[in-house]
Amino acid sequence: MLATVGTDSVCKLWDVTNVNALGKAEPKLVIKKDLKQGELFSVQFYEDIPWVLAAGGSKGEVAIWDTEESAEVEKHFRPFMDKNAPE
């Protein structure tokens, strides 16, 4: 999973393991979310809880997104999620 942000205030989550018919890597957009922080300048996943990310923007605040709460993310990345992992 890769997260990107931009000046449109949208955070996008990509599946970077996706491979096209020719065997080339082809990132697939899984979901996008307006984090309502204006232009977004940075994004970082939380090291201890890799499904949680924070993004900072022009409004001077940090937006926190628990991506695992999204049905699209849960469905797409279910094979990678370890529900038995210690928190």
Instruction: Give pLDDT tens digits for 25-65.
Output: 899 999 999 999 999 999 999 999 889 999 999 999 999 99
Torsion of CA 10, 15, 19, 21, to 10 degrees: -60
Identify whether 42 is part of a domain: yes
Q: Which residue has the higher pLDDT, 46 or 86?
A: 46
Supply the pLDDT for residue 13.
97
Supply the pLDDT for residue 20.
87
Identify whether 50 is part of a domain: yes
* Tokens at 30, concatenated: 């899984």
Full domain range(s) for residue 70? 2-80
The whole-model pTM stands at 0.82
Domain count, the chain: 1
Identify whether 87 is part of a domain: no
* Tokens at 43, concatenated: 């994004």
Identify whether 35 is part of a domain: yes
Distance of CA 74 to the CA centre of its chain: 11
